[in-house]
Structure 1
Amino acid sequence: MKWVTVFLTCCILGSQYHLWFAKGGWHDMWRLENEVTAQETENNMLILRNNALSAEVKDLAEGKDAIAEIARVDLGYIQDGEIYYRMVDARRGN
């Protein structure tokens, strides 16, 4: 009876080895779940970036306000009839 118990225990442990340690077991499943979570986080960040870019493209395609704003910020564009004031910091002497 003692040998039967030892034999059955060895069989159970042997069958559990594949579940815990072999390829496709619990260890791989946990690793893949972590990779999926990281990929979902990256995908959400990319979706937000794509939405912002789509909104900017829509603004550029539909109206001149966005183009004028970009020209003002990046190129220093001033429209006719506007007055440009430059504020100089007296402490720095610029």
Structure 2
Amino acid sequence: MRFIALLLAAGLIWVQAQLWFGQRSAARVAELQTQLQQQEQANAQARETQTRARAELKDLREGLEMVEEKARFELGLIKPDEIFVKLPLDPASRASGSKR
């Protein structure tokens, strides 16, 4: 009878040790769940970036409007018949400029 009690106690200790310190411990499961959530967020951001890149690629392949827009904003393209006007970006500059 004593042998069975010792065997059951040893089994209980082993199960508790696995629960607290083993590969499938509660702390490890919580850590893996946190890592999973972070990876899912990173995947969602990557999907969004990929969707935007595909849309931009489609625009570039289908029409020249996107090319012209990029040339205007990134390279400063101005057509021969256009007049270039530059406005200040911050509202304070606009307000002080309009009072003169």
Shorter-chain-normalised TM-score: which range? 0.7 to 0.9
* Amino acid corresponding to residue 84 of structure 2 in structure 1: Y
Does structure 1 residue 61 correspond to structure 2 residue 61?
Answer: yes
Whole-angstrom CA distance in 2 between matches of 1:21 and 1:46: 35
Instruction: Classify the secondary structure of the residue corresponding to 1:27.
Output: helix
* Correspondences of 1:14-25 after superposition (within 5 Å): 14-25=14-25
Structure 2: gaps spanning 5 or more residues = none
- 1:20-77 Cα offsets, whole Å, 9 max, x none, are 2112332222211111111001111111111111111111111111110111111111
Structure 1: gaps spanning 5 or more residues = none
Q: 1:67–1:29: structure 2 CA closer, same or farther, 3 Å change rule? A: same
Give TM-score, length-normalised by structure 2.
0.70
Instruction: Identify the structure with bigger relative contact order (alpha carbons < 8 Å, sequence gap 6+).
Output: 1
Q: Which range moved further: 52-61 or 18-27?
A: 18-27
Aligned residue pairs: how many?
Answer: 91
Give the CA RMSD over aligned residues.
Answer: 2.7
Aligned to 1:45: 45
Give TM-score, length-normalised by structure 1.
0.74
